[in-house]
């Protein structure tokens, strides 16, 4: 959470240069709480799914608060003055989440992957590592099929989607803990790992 606000400011600065972003929030500490309650056996899978989506929605308000980014209920390309928008995922998914399985394999990564696919837009995952690490090194590019069953910085639901429905799409994994480094990587189009479907 400490790097979230600087990253939002960086996205807004990039928007001044002509970029636009639809930010799909993670669940943050609220989703961690849902996961903990679920692990104790106090929640059904269905309830945990929707509570985790609501946790993402709460985090959306945190990301937008004071940043100048607009909140949106719809999966659409930002336009006009609001070139950085933060998705309210519960509002967007309550009517139609047919491509998401309701289990912990499908998290905010999967929601973001489906949103990017619907928009025919690139998906950039900001995370706390430099990319996918294999044999102690960050790999520049990897097929999604090699990620099946492997614990990494991206959920298995996204990997399964990249191997199926989203075949031909990709996810660019970038370290988002340093906003300046993230901005430089975006401008140069280099760094991190591209996971190809």
Does the structure show a pLDDT above 80 at 53?
Answer: yes
When pLDDT is averaged across residues 131-137 and rounded to a whole number, the result is 92
Query: Is residue 168 left, alpha or beta, with left meaning phi > 0 and alpha meaning psi from -120 to 50?
Result: left
When pLDDT is averaged across residues 69-87 and rounded to a whole number, the result is 89
Whole-model pTM: value is: 0.94
Please give the pLDDT value at position 1: 60
Q: Cα dist. 169→2, 42, 90 in Å?
A: 30, 37, 24
Helix (H) or strand (E) holding 193: strand 193-196
Percent of the chain with pLDDT over 70: 99
79-108, pLDDT tens digit by residue?
777 799 999 999 999 988 888 999 999 999
Q: Which residues contact 151 (CB under 8 A, 6 or more apart)?
A: none
Domains, in order of start, for the chain: 4-196 (3.40.1160.10)
When pLDDT is averaged across residues 67-85 and rounded to a whole number, the result is 88
When pLDDT is averaged across residues 60-67 and rounded to a whole number, the result is 94
């Amino acid at each position: 959470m400490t790097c979230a606000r600087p990253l939002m400011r960086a996205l807004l600065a990039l928007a001044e240069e002509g970029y636009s972003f639809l930010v799909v929030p993670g669940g943050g500490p609220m989703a961690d709480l849902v996961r903990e309650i679920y692990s104790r056996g106090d929640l059904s899978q269905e309830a945990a799914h929707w509570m985790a989506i609501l946790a993402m929605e709460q985090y959306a308000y945190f990301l937008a608060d004071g940043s100048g980014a607009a909140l949106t209920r719809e999966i659409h390309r930002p336009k006009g003055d609001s070139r950085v928008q933060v998705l309210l995922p519960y509002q967007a998914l309550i009517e139609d989440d047919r491509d998401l399985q309701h289990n912990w394999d499908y998290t905010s990564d999967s929601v973001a992957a489906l949103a990017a696919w619907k928009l025919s837009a690139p998906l950039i995952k900001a995370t706390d590592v430099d990319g996918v690490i294999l044999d102690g090194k960050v790999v520049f590019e990897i097929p999604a099929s090699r990620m099946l069953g492997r614990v990494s910085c991206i959920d298995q639901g996204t990997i399964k989607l990249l191997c199926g429905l989203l075949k031909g799409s990709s996810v660019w994994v970038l370290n988002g803990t340093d906003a300046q480094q993230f901005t430089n990587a975006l401008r140069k189009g280099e760094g991190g790992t591209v996971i190809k479907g």
